[in-house]
Structure 1
Amino acid sequence: MDEMQEHDWERLTYQLKRGRCTPFVGAGASVSVLPSGGALSHKLAEILGYTGKYADDLPYVAQWGGIKHDLVHIKEMVRDILDVGLAPDFSNPEEPHGLLAGFPLPVFVTTNFDDFIAQSLLAVGKSPTSVICPWKSDITTEENVLASEAVWKPEPLAPLVYHLHGALTDPASLVIAHDDYHEFTRNLAVESATGQRKMLPPSVLKALTREPLLFVGYSLQDISFRMLFQELIKSIPGISQRKHVSIQLERVTGDEDRDVEDLKLQLDSYYRGWKITVFWGGAAAFCAELRARMGAPS
């Protein structure tokens, strides 16, 4: 795992301009209007009356709240906290959603609950289809939606936005507590073993296995980021053939050098033979650097 060099930027800009890249969008892309994972966790802990030492650990706080209350109710509380009625300024040159929306990309994958990707695509005249991953049986993703041409054959002007960990429109779909993460991972593994791919439609599977990957909006302390790599490599045959992965990864306060080294060792051991390059910094800084190197996409 190496820091991004000049040739890495050239490769990434080439791929983005030609729509040959699959972006994963994390919570750091939405911090201009929504709380970070840690801030959300503290807010939820405050509402629930949790005063323990894990107040900044959202899966822990949500799990604790789910024992005290119904877990669906906890997810509805999270929905209410995040449903602020605001959206980022997509015209801001350092805004991640607005930047990515300008590229001819057919598939966007996100672990975020908000609809900012779809909003940014609409803002540039595209017609996105948003779909929630049916990671458990009670998620109300209609079969006819999963079987539609918009999902099976997404195009740059009509892209697919795939909410891997749920969306605010269906609070029960949110992957937020420890039990949710375990169930998500278990069900993905079961589907891989049985060959049934309800959680990952063919277009998403193709985007993951045949295109370079770009992760934007993640940090070392983000459980979505740490688990996502493991889920992908263990449960998606063929993804190991994907050699180029670009990661915008933010160091947050408290990260030690050994945390970075541990992450490097983890990624290198899992993805031996992959070409993984990292931009150390926030999503806005990454966007500014990308624009400086290529200009705004047409």
Structure 2
Amino acid sequence: MQGNVSMRLIERFVPAFCQELQHDGVIDAAMAIARGAVRDMPDHWMPVLYSRLKSGRIWYVPGFADERDNVEKIEAIAGYIGDGLCTPIIGPQLAETRLGTSRMIARMWAERYRYPMESYEREQLAYVAQFLSIKHDYRFPRRSLIETLRQLLIEEYHDVLPDLDRLDLLELYRTIGRHERARDPFDPYRVLAAQPLPIYITANASNMLNEALIEAGKQPVIELCRWNEDLDRLPSIFEREPDYRPSAERPLVFHLFGSFDQPETLALTEDDYFDFLINITGERERIPAIVRDALADSALLFLGFELEDIGFRTLFHSLIKPLRGASRRRRYVQIAGQLMPREDQVLQPDRAIRYLEAYFHDTAAISIFWGSPRDFCVALAAQLAESDRPRRRRGF
């Protein structure tokens, strides 16, 4: 308020403002309607809005842009999951839910190590890691990432879980993952691990998916992508067991960008992602045939990515966009869970949303679910439960 106002104005203005704001969270529209409700009062000019929001939206309801897709697409992906014809592709944000994102780590490193390049690069972990690998050595950013994540996890969970400071990073993820799955029925790892799926692809270097699958009574098989020649020496399940075929009971967990238990396998710097893109595009056999088939001939579910992140763009342009069998893939629904663009990162959020939807739909028939991985898992779990009721009534 720009000055003293009458209680009569407050009694009329505030209910109108709150009622309108509840519809869709657009605060400037709510302000305009509430001011219209008091336009006949002498102090109608007192209410004023100051906002840094470019879209005027202070919250959003998770879902697809077209509300009709909320039921249809979730129902479709649930059907493919039930038939074992869905391939989840898991991004780093599933392990970062309680820690923020890699952007936070990039900012911490940029400040600590005095990153000298453009300010917009200071939130891109691949750029800052590239700087550290040159300033120090190849292993330095990998060791630093493991230790940084370890300290962040200890700080975040020390009040609820004892004796974390004696655990290494993978033990921390194991302990914390067990805690999160026990307290949250819609934990994304818990929901995904419970499904009868033969193949999981992960761009997440943690062991949380593996642990969730074990907890669900399965025997996951871990395989690392040989994205450069140095990794060709790694043992492979397809060499030990040439007849191995992934199943719901013994699913394949395929790590695209490496694993924390072998830091040298991590794709972390800008050069790493360029090498991944060049090598995978030029030598398709670096991706096992059974994984390539799953990417081409099943419904794809992307969870835990930022669509503009270098990791997702590398994955998209090396494996999804150019992959043979794209015509087969269009038979299936493809969904990417994506948080709304941050208002401090884009000039026009609404136009950015429309652009992302159009680009991914036109190039790979991917529909975007606007919400967190957990938001999507809440909707998915509800649909899976609904789909399961008729089968139980029929005695299946």
| TM-score of the pair, normalised by structure 1 | 0.88
SS of residue paired to 1:278 = strand
More strand by share: 1
Q: Please, which of 312, 324, 335 is the counterpart of residue 225 of structure 1? A: 312
2:295 is the alignment partner of 1:204: no
C-alpha distance in 2 between matches for 1:73 and 1:291: 41
Are the counterparts in 2 of residues 29 and 217 from structure 1 also a CA contact under 8 Å? yes
Q: Residue 355 of structure 2 corresponds to which residue in structure 1?
A: 262
Alignment-mate amino acid for residue 245 of structure 1: Q
Q: Residue 95 of structure 2 corresponds to which residue in structure 1?
A: 30
Alignment-mate amino acid for residue 263 of structure 1: L
Residue deviations 1:259-294, cap 9 Å, x none? 2233234324423xx3x3221011111111112222
Alignment-mate amino acid for residue 283 of structure 1: P
Are the counterparts in 1 of residues 276 and 314 from structure 2 also a CA contact under 8 Å? no
Give unmatched runs, 5+ long, in structure 2. 1-63, 151-168, 389-396
C-alpha distance in 1 between matches for 2:383 and 2:236: 42
2:381 is the alignment partner of 1:291: yes
Q: Residue 301 of structure 2 corresponds to which residue in structure 1?
A: 214
Residue deviations 1:125-182, cap 9 Å, x none? 1110111111011126534434233884111111111110111111121111111111
Alpha-carbon RMSD across the aligned residues, in angstroms, is 2.4
Q: Residue 236 of structure 1 corresponds to which residue in structure 2?
A: 323
C-alpha distance in 1 between matches for 2:217 and 2:261: 23
Q: Residue 17 of structure 1 corresponds to which residue in structure 2?
A: 82
Q: Please, which of 338, 342, 349 is the counterpart of residue 249 of structure 1? A: 338
1:133 to 1:296, Cα distance in 2 relative to 1, 3 A = farther
C-alpha distance in 1 between matches for 2:342 and 2:197: 33
Are the counterparts in 2 of residues 128 and 160 from structure 1 also a CA contact under 8 Å? yes
2:113 is the alignment partner of 1:48: yes
1:201 Cα offset (Å): 0.8
Higher relative contact order (CA 8 A, sep 6+): 1
Are the counterparts in 1 of residues 277 and 317 from structure 2 also a CA contact under 8 Å? no
How many residue pairs match? The answer is: 290
SS of residue paired to 1:130 = strand
Residue deviations 1:218-248, cap 9 Å, x none? 2244222233222224542223420121111
Alignment-mate amino acid for residue 136 of structure 1: N
Q: Residue 198 of structure 2 corresponds to which residue in structure 1?
A: 106
Q: Please, which of 269, 282, 285 is the counterpart of residue 372 of structure 2? A: 282
SS of residue paired to 2:231 = coil
Are the counterparts in 1 of residues 341 and 353 from structure 2 also a CA contact under 8 Å? no
Describe how 1:125-144 pairs up with structure 2 within 5 A: 125-139=217-231, 142-144=234-236
2:273 is the alignment partner of 1:181: yes
C-alpha distance in 2 between matches for 1:150 and 1:31: 35
C-alpha distance in 2 between matches for 1:109 and 1:253: 27
C-alpha distance in 1 between matches for 2:113 and 2:224: 27
2:216 is the alignment partner of 1:124: yes
Give unmatched runs, 5+ long, in structure 1. none
Q: Residue 166 of structure 1 corresponds to which residue in structure 2?
A: 258
Are the counterparts in 1 of residues 227 and 280 from structure 2 also a CA contact under 8 Å? yes
Are the counterparts in 2 of residues 103 and 297 from structure 1 also a CA contact under 8 Å? no
C-alpha distance in 1 between matches for 2:65 and 2:218: 35
1:220 to 1:234, Cα distance in 2 relative to 1, 3 A = closer
Which has the higher mean CA deviation after the structures are superposed, 118-127 or 167-176? Answer: 167-176
SS of residue paired to 1:295 = helix
More helix by share: 2
Which has the higher mean CA deviation after the structures are superposed, 173-182 or 141-150? Answer: 141-150
In terms of Rg, which structure is larger?
2
